[in-house]
Structure 1
Amino acid sequence: MKGKKILVIGGSDPSGGAGIQVDRLTCADLGVYPYSILTAVIAQNSSKVLSIERLSSDIISKQLEAVFLDTRIDTVKIGALTSIEAVEVVSSFFEELKVKNIVIDPVIQSSSGTSFLSPSAVSLMKIRLFRIARVVTPNIPEAERLTGFSIKNFDDMKKAAEAIKTLGPEWVLIKGGHLQGDECTDFLFNGNIERKYSSKRINKNVKGTGCIFSSALASQLALNKDVPEAVELAKLYVTERISKAISLGKGNFQSIPSFFENFEVNW
């Protein structure tokens, strides 16, 4: 079988629970080869972000050039860009290249609350990046920042999806895990088709689930699944990873890919 290739773009996480490291683990776990481009070196662990070193637009551009001069990529997943300069260079590159499958996980802040993007960078992302996306995958806090209104229930999620759709993406997936209730419900919308995906809530505070979901979704698109099926498979995958997450550090649980499920922690 001919191998599929994905490019994941984002910041690093030395704990492996989020960012580029968990993106790569997820893609490999699903049988897709991951290329990767760093936008920032982030000193973080299972509890908090200590510091962020944002990479220059020049080195981000050179990384993009290096990958696409050398190979063909089936899908691109864009995560944390961390600066307005990164948003600008990534937007300009893909506006010109016109890749079909672009999944954007609009990471505005870390799970521990550290802000990655300024308001001006968020505005530029909405204007430049969303219009070239096949799928945009905000969680509830991100969707609130993108739309400017509070999301308290499923009807608000639908309203947010409709608002974000006007910015140009082909599909919008609102991830509903931050809402209260016994189930976690996500909503997919493309202007005509509406799909609802629900799973039983698992009471674990797991780091990097947004990264895992978007990378799993992008991997399924690379494997030629259509968007509704790719979302369904990604939902099943991230739910399983949450159920099997373990404590590796002093803070949040971390997802373990299937090939590490027998991993035992030795303190």
Structure 2
Amino acid sequence: MPAASASSARSNSALSGSRCHDRLRTFHERLQSGWRMSAPLELFSYWRSSAAYRVRIGLNIKALAYVTHPVHLVRDGGEQHAAAYAQLNPQQLVPTLRHGAVVVPQSLAILEYLEEAFPDSARLLPAAPFERARVRALAQAIACDVHPLNNLRVMQLLEREWQRDAAQRLHWTQHWMQQGFAALELQLANALHTASFCHGDTPGLADCVLIPQLYNARRFEVDLAPYPTLQRIEQACLALPAFDAARPEMQIDAVV
């Protein structure tokens, strides 16, 4: 075969292979898209869990229908420790999201999963890399630094192992929340990207995390007067149906 013909044949073969690859990729994308749309979203949740509260807000913002499976964190020693649930989530925590064959623990991971699995719904993260990093940093400041120090497991340990009474446990909780809120107030007040919400004029990931922590703060009698920016954002969020429907007292397992 002449050199030109051989080169042309290789080129045509490569082009054909590329088209084949593109068609296969398109097929898989359509298949995955159809699966995402048809598989139900199931949220294993406890009404008072602020981590589960975050996910409910995110699901509502994105207008995604879901089924709630209540997991009582206190009854009978905690339903999260039952064998069936421990198999689903070895950490034995809530929330857990099940989406067909996919199981996702951890509230921030769930929200990021929803963002990527349902790109045509309302966005929880902005487009620009720096702005996405800012929103994630705000969310993680609460979810990773404030919340873990005052969740149910820690409170139970303080009482059971270290015999701290109710007043001491309350002081512990208030201390860490106040410290975290003070830093957030400084980050948000007068910042370029802070507007009606933590970032811009539409609610997003940071708001999903902030509102449940403020709910917790009121439960534990934290004085929120020093944090006017946080309170202003909270008012804007709670005026929206997505946040209102996610409130703990609105859940099917609520005890009020």
Bigger radius of gyration, 1 or 2? 2
The answer to which structure has the higher helix fraction is 2
What's the TM-score once normalised by structure 1's chain length? 0.28
What's the TM-score once normalised by structure 2's chain length? 0.29
